[in-house]
């Protein structure tokens, strides 16, 4: 089990550069669970890192033909964390989500009332909730939802894939916003 990483919060001002931060490194050697959780935590911390230094307005700016924004991506990832771990894995009822049948893209909608700091804090809370749920199960345990189709291992590997894919989107959006690049 990896320890929970220290949160990195966005500052709210665009700088054009990404300041060095400490993110949890996945172990280069170790057991399967430690490796999976370490890689996932590095991806999660990298999402926050990519938002660091952006203003609320920049984070809510749509630069693509879609509704994709930095804030929307982070909100989406918070909902994904809660959906897969709390809803699907643990079978918790009434897990909050911003999407619905009426608004399947609900988490992507960001308004002037939404602060990047609040969105990042919610994402970090969702990740913490996910870690707490995962700690209750073995990698081979099957989920309570979705007809018990997925193991915790599959869900965590899926979260690595989903988070990494959207981290690539964040890389591109950040570079388009202010030219900032960095691992």
In this structure, the number of other CB atoms found within 10 A of the CB of residue 3 comes to 9
Tallying the residues shown for the chain, one arrives at 183
pLDDT digit string, tens, across residues 53-103: 999 999 999 999 999 999 999 999 999 999 999 999 999 999 999 988 999
Residue 152's φ and ψ, nearest 5 degrees, are -60, -40
Compute the average pLDDT of residues 41-46.
95
Regarding pTM above 0.75, the answer is yes
CATH number of 139's domain: 1.20.120.450
Q: What spatial distance separates the first Cα and last Cα of the chain, rounded to whole Å?
A: 25
Looking at the domain assignment, is residue 6 inside a domain? Answer: no
Range of the domain at 110: 32-178
88 found inside a domain: yes
**Number of domains making up the chain:** 1
**Nearest partner of 93 among 151, 144, 148, 142, judged by Cα:** 144
Q: Is residue 22 part of a domain?
A: no
In a domain, 139, yes or no: yes
Residue 8 lies in a domain: no
């Amino acid at each position: 089990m990896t320890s929970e990483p220290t949160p990195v919060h966005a500052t709210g001002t665009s700088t054009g550069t990404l300041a060095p931060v400490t993110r949890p490194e996945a172990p280069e050697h170790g057991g399967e669970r430690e490796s999976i959780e370490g890689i996932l935590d590095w991806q999660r911390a990298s999402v926050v890192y990519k938002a660091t230094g952006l203003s609320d307005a920049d984070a809510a700016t749509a630069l693509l033909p879609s509704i994709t924004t930095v804030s929307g991506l982070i909100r989406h990832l918070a909902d994904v964390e809660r959906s897969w771990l709390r809803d699907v894995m643990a079978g918790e009822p009434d897990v909050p989500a911003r999407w619905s049948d009426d608004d399947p893209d609900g988490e992507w909608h960001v308004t002037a009332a939404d602060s990047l700091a609040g969105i990042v804090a919610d994402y970090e809370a969702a990740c913490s909730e996910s870690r707490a749920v995962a700690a209750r199960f073995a990698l081979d345990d099957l989920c309570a939802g979705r007809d018990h189709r997925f193991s915790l291992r599959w869900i965590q590997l899926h979260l690595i894939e989903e988070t990494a894919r959207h981290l690539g989107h964040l890389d591109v959006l950040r570079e388009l916003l202010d030219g900032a690049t960095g691992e």
